[in-house]
Amino acid sequence: ALGLLMVGLCGINISLLPYDAMRLRNRLKMQATDFADAYVNLIVAPDTGFPLLNIKLSPDVKESCPFVGDGGCGVYPDRPSVCRGYPLGRAVRYEDDGSKIEHIMLIQEKHCRGFDEDRQMTPAAWFHDQGLEPYNEWNDRFLSIMARQKATGRKLDKNRAQMAYLSLYDPENFRNFIGHMGVFKRLDLTPEREAAIMSDSEALLAFGYDWMEMVLFGHSDGLKPKA
Burial of 199 (0-12, 13-18, 19+ CB in 10 A): exposed
User: What pLDDT does 7 receive?
Assistant: 42
Residue ranges in the chain modelled with pLDDT below 70: 1-12, 61, 109-116
Tell me how far apart the alpha carbons of residues 100 and 53 are, in angstroms, rounded to a whole number. 23
Cβ–Cβ < 8 Å for 5, 92: yes
Mean model confidence pLDDT for the chain: 89
pTM value?
0.89
User: What pLDDT does 59 receive?
Assistant: 80
User: Count of residues for the chain?
Assistant: 227
User: b/e for 182-197, b at 16 or more Cβ within 10 A?
Assistant: ebbeebebeeebbebb
Tell me how far apart the alpha carbons of residues 184 and 221 are, in angstroms, rounded to a whole number. 16
User: What pLDDT does 2 receive?
Assistant: 36
- Residue 158 has what DSSP assignment? H
Q: Which residues pair with 69 in a beta bridge?
A: 72
User: What pLDDT does 114 receive?
Assistant: 62
